[in-house]
Amino acid sequence: MQMNNSLKIVHYCFLLTAFLFLSLGSAVDAADKKQVAIKAPPGMAALPLDLPKPAFAGTPQNIKGVKQLEKPLGRPRPPFFAPKGVKNLALGKKITGSDEEPIVGEIKMITDGDKKAADGSYVELGPFTQYIQVDLEEEKEIYAVLLWHYHKQARVYFDVVIQVSNDPEFGKSTAIYNNDHDNSAEQGIGKDNHYVETSEGRLVDAKGVKGRYVRFYSGGNNASDLNHYIEVEVYGK
């Protein structure tokens, strides 16, 4: 009798586990389908992003002490919608910067379309505050900017400031991102979050700002005072 009761309990537990597993799977599938089913507003389309493969290696260092650090999303970034017809205007465009002789790589690599985290795919600039600048050749409406510093490790880059201007000297500009909380880069105090580098890059909503030049500042990272760039993309028309 006890044996029969034990078998019944085991059978019941098995059925309950199977039910929970199937229910959870259905819920996950439903969530995935809901995300896939997101429709673009009229006249808009999802950015045609070509993301590199994840390449994390090693253990994150010194991230716990970073203030105002954004929590990881824990899932793929949702699509970003922009007016139909936008494209990456930065691809192959002329790029200049504050460090004309990088420690590693050539500055032109930052707009060459290679977003991998491999050796030979990134540029290493000198320490402390440095900037790079992309010339779009004429004024454009900019809807999004995508930036990869270095996504082979879980790093946090400091004093990340992105500005748009029609003046190559940036006497007058519009900041679309600023996480410099103490004005270290001397571009004004920002309120945006610090974030951990990933293969998805940092996507910034530029809200249709007009300009010819896009400038990117940074001031080292949690692992060293050096600055790195793999690729920048500027979406507009």
The CATH number that applies at residue 186 is 2.60.120.260
- Mean pLDDT confidence for 100-110: 96
Whether residue 104 lies inside any domain: the answer is: yes
Based on the fold, state whether residues 14 and 115 are members of the same structural domain. Answer: no
Question: Per-residue pLDDT tens for 114-134?
Answer: 999 999 999 999 999 999 999
Number of domains in the chain: 2
Based on the fold, state whether residues 60 and 171 are members of the same structural domain. Answer: yes
Based on the fold, state whether residues 17 and 58 are members of the same structural domain. Answer: no
Question: Per-residue pLDDT tens for 64-77?
Answer: 789 999 998 889 99
Based on the fold, state whether residues 7 and 123 are members of the same structural domain. Answer: no
Based on the fold, state whether residues 135 and 80 are members of the same structural domain. Answer: yes
Quick one: pLDDT at residue 81?
98
Calpha distance 160→193 (Å, rounded): 10
Model confidence at 221: pLDDT above 90: yes
Based on the fold, state whether residues 194 and 217 are members of the same structural domain. Answer: yes
Based on the fold, state whether residues 128 and 216 are members of the same structural domain. Answer: yes
- Mean pLDDT confidence for 183-207: 97
Whether residue 186 lies inside any domain: the answer is: yes
Categorize the per-residue pLDDT at 56 as very low, low, confident or very high, splitting at 50, 70 and 90.
Answer: confident
Whether residue 165 lies inside any domain: the answer is: yes
Instruction: Domain of residue 30: give its range.
Output: 1-37
Based on the fold, state whether residues 14 and 65 are members of the same structural domain. Answer: no
Report phi then psi at 127, rounded to 5: -80, 170
Calpha distance 218→149 (Å, rounded): 9
Whether residue 160 lies inside any domain: the answer is: yes
Based on the fold, state whether residues 18 and 53 are members of the same structural domain. Answer: no
Q: How many residues does the chain have?
A: 237
Whether residue 32 lies inside any domain: the answer is: yes
Q: What pTM, to 2 d.p., does this model score?
A: 0.83
Calculated CA dihedral for residues 74, 191, 130, 153, nearest 10 degrees: -20
Based on the fold, state whether residues 184 and 123 are members of the same structural domain. Answer: yes
Report the run of H or E that residue 194 belongs to, with start and end: none
Kindly give, in sequence order, each residue whose CB lies less than 8 Å from that of residue 18, ignoring residues fewer than 6 positions away.
none
Quick one: pLDDT at residue 152?
92
Q: What is the mean pLDDT of the chain?
A: 87
Whether residue 229 lies inside any domain: the answer is: yes
Cα–Cα distance list, 152 to 49, 65, 144 (Å): 19, 21, 23
Calpha distance 119→121 (Å, rounded): 5
Based on the fold, state whether residues 31 and 53 are members of the same structural domain. Answer: no
Calpha distance 107→225 (Å, rounded): 18
Based on the fold, state whether residues 20 and 128 are members of the same structural domain. Answer: no
